[in-house]
């Protein structure tokens, strides 16, 4: 769902109807073929969203319809993910020797001290994910959005020893300027767009560009479990079916399969059990597919000869 343009941005009907101008139409069957490392054709990555939410206000996924603020039921349900569920998922990734791209709200470091140690010790990738998932960056004036990106990036760079290469906006929220601001802040890739199964170059102002790595909205536990009310078993079955179908079709073109997870959802025991089975199914095919991180996919795509990646 596209974010609604806020009233304080000066827009006209022509602005709202204006094309995004980031990439041209490129049908998959007409593109040049290339391989992922090891002559693989399917790249698979797990995106784990580690998020924090304001108490008594702001945005947040709901287990049940929210009541008056402070909405203790839904706040506590989400907080369980950072106290319990996230560690169950880290253990599962360890059991299956799966790398992860960890999408982190910068305020996690202050609100959940030590949480990120579990992933730092594994060598997982850390991806910028705004300050908090209680806000949308796409509703901010450009100067404030630039400041949000700078603040979140500085915290991650300080805590992890280097700035993140990739970004996913809280709530997949972008303004028309977001790709420009990310490129200007030094980001190499973004994850917000689910428009393709291959990386895509986005044009940015000043003649620059930034890579878009496919991020899933189908294989994403929030649209599936919260939105469509799928069970944990149904979500796991979707993962296996998608993997098998993409493994079959990747012989014709290299593809990216992402799996988006949130600890307060799939860290729950009744959902973690079928999820583990689905991830084990993928791990059993590691000799055929490239199980990796979003940043590694970006690095490989950026290193391809000019013209191989659509844009």
Structural domains in the chain, sorted by start:
33-53+67-302 (3.20.20.370)
- The confidence score (pLDDT) of residue 63 equals 80
- The confidence score (pLDDT) of residue 57 equals 81
pLDDT digits (tens, 9 = 90+) for 237-289: 999 999 999 999 999 999 999 999 999 999 999 999 999 999 999 999 999 99
pLDDT digits (tens, 9 = 90+) for 70-107: 988 989 999 999 999 999 999 999 999 999 999 999 99
Tell me the H-state helices in 161-284. Answer: 178-184, 221, 232-249, 263-266, 269-283
pLDDT lower than 70: segments of the chain: 1-16
Question: Which residue in 110, 106, 111, 37 sits closest to 81, CA to CA?
Answer: 111
- The confidence score (pLDDT) of residue 16 equals 67
Q: Measure the CA angle with vertex 251, ends 33 and 22; round to 5°.
A: 45
CB 109 within 8 A of CB 131: no
| 125, containing H or E segment | strand 125-128
Question: Which residue in 236, 264, 269, 267 sits closest to 62, CA to CA?
Answer: 264
User: Which tokens go with 255?
Assistant: 């593809």
- The confidence score (pLDDT) of residue 8 equals 41
3-state SS assignment for residue 238:
helix
């Amino acid at each position: 769902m596209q974010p609604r343009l806020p009233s304080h941005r000066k827009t006209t009907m022509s602005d709202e109807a204006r094309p995004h101008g980031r990439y041209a139409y490129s049908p998959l069957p007409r593109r040049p073929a290339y391989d992922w490392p090891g002559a693989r054709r399917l790249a698979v990555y797990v995106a784990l969203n580690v998020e924090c939410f304001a108490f008594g206000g702001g945005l947040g996924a709901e287990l049940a319809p929210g009541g008056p603020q402070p909405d203790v039921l839904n706040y506590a349900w989400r907080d369980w993910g950072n106290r319990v569920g996230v560690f169950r998922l880290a253990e599962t990734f360890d059991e299956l020797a799966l790398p992860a791209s960890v999408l982190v709200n910068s305020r996690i470091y202050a609100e959940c001290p030590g949480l990120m140690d579990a992933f730092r010790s594994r060598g997982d990738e850390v991806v910028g994910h705004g300050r908090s998932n209680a806000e949308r960056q796409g509703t901010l004036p450009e100067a404030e959005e630039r400041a949000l990106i700078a603040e979140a990036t500085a915290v991650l760079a300080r805590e992890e020893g280097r700035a993140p290469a990739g970004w996913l906006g809280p709530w997949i929220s972008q303004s028309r300027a977001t790709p420009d601001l990310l490129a200007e802040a030094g980001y190499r890739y973004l994850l917000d767009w689910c428009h393709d199964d291959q990386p895509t170059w986005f044009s940015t102002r000043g003649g620059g560009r930034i890579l878009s790595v496919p991020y899933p909205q189908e294989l994403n536990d929030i649209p599936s479990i919260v939105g469509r009310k799928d069970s944990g078993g149904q979500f796991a079955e979707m993962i296996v079916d998608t993997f098998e179908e993409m493994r079959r079709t990747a012989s014709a073109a290299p593809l990216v399969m992402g799996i988006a997870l949130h600890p307060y959802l799939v860290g729950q025991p009744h959902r973690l059990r079928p999820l583990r089975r689905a991830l084990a199914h993928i791990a059993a095919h590691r000799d055929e597919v490239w199980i990796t991180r979003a940043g590694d996919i970006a690095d490989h795509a950026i290193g391809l000869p000019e013209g191989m990646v659509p844009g």
